[in-house]
Every structure is written in C-alpha cells, then in structure tokens.
Amino acid sequence: MATYDLDEQERLDELKAWWKRWGTLVMIGLAVLIAAAAGWRYWQNRTVTHSLEAAAVYDKLARSTAANDVKAAREAGAMLIDKYEDTAYAPRAALLLARLNVGAKDAKSAQAQLEWAASHSKEPAIRDLARLRLAAVQLDQKQYDAALKTLAARHSEAFGPRFDDLKGDVLVAQGKPADARAAYQAALGRMSADNPYRNVVELKLDGVGGEAK
C-alpha cells in the first residue's frame, strides 16, 4: 500500500512538473483552437447569409427585367456588382445590365459590364458568354481589332463554334473573305450535324464564296 501511494505521488509530482513547464502553452493552444472553431462557424454562417442576400437581390433584378422596370433593374444590378461581387450572381447581373444597355443604345456601358463579367466570373461558361457578347458589341461599334482580340481569348470547346462564327462575321466586316471562310469552316467543323445553327453558318460561308465540307 505504501509502495502504491509512493508511485501515485511520483506520478502526481511528474504531472505537476510537466504542467508547470507546458501548461501555459497547452492553454494557449486550446484557446487558439476554440477561437479558430468559432471563427470558422462565423465565416460559414456569414458566407451563407451573404449568398442568400445576393440571391434575393438577383431575384429582384430578374423580376424587374421581366417587368421592364429598367430603373429597379439597374439599382439591383448595381448593388450586386458593388456589394456582392464575390458571388456568382454579380457576373450574371452584369450580363443582364449589359443587355439592358444594348437595348438602350448605350454601348459604352454595355462594354464595361461585359468586360467586368468576363474578368470577374469564376465560371468558364459565364466568362465565355460575356466575351461573346462583348465581341458582338465591339463588332457593332466597328471595333474590329478589339473584337478579334476578345474572341482570341481561351474558351471552352462547347463555345468554340460560336467564337469561330462570330470571328467570321468580324472578318467579313473587315473585308477579309478568305479569312472569314476559314473561320466559318472551323465553326462548321466543330458543330454536330443536327446543330440547328448549322444552316445559318453554311449560308454565311456560301456568302463569302466558301463551301461546307
């Protein structure tokens, strides 16, 4: 029994010595872990709330656009780009605002919004769509070199035919039928046989003296 008590006392003394040496660091470590866990929960909750707020504003934008309430749509779109630019809704808002501005003959604002969407969206499909629409606006403004530069950006294969087709349109406007033929043929080469837009590209190709292969 005495031996048992002695062993217990030795272990207790060892524990006291260990705690005296390391106890403060252990407490600091626990405090850091607790703070990190609390911070992570706060960040998660804040992210969810932020995203839900952005979704509500985007819903207002979509409804305002459908109702042709341009003023309300512009206000909602501006709020998304200003306060929720880190969400997926902001680039989509820029696309909608650009469409409104094209309808209002405000090409300068449309270009700015499409450039913003192309550079800020984390979604390849949204970036590609923004670039296509930007190039179309640049073509309408006779900014041919700028349009070709926009279309030269890396894009997904799914959008390849549309990029080539629009490139052909720009080259036609520049008076370069041979280059336009090559672009239209490239577009057709990427299209499936049942693509509903294929006939349109074939007509464009025929218009510049080309022939579908």
Tell me the two tokens of residue 87.
């969400």
Over residues 91-111, the pLDDT tens digits come to 999 999 999 999 999 999 999
- In tens, the pLDDT along 162-189 reads 999 999 999 999 999 999 999 999 999 9
Cα–Cα distances in angstroms (integers) from residue 22 to residues 13, 27, 36, in the given order: 14, 9, 21
Q: Of 135, 72, 149, nearest to 96 (Cα)?
A: 72
pTM (two decimals): 0.75
Check residue 18 and give its pLDDT: 58
Write the DSSP string, 26-65: HHHHHHHHHHHHHHHHHHHHHHHHHHHHHHHHHHHHHHHH
* Tens digit of each residue's pLDDT (9 = 90 or more) over 36-91: 665 556 555 566 677 788 888 888 888 888 888 889 999 999 999 999 888 888 99
Q: How far is CA 24 from the centre of its chain?
A: 47
**Dihedral of the CA atoms 117, 93, 110, 196 (nearest 10)?**
80
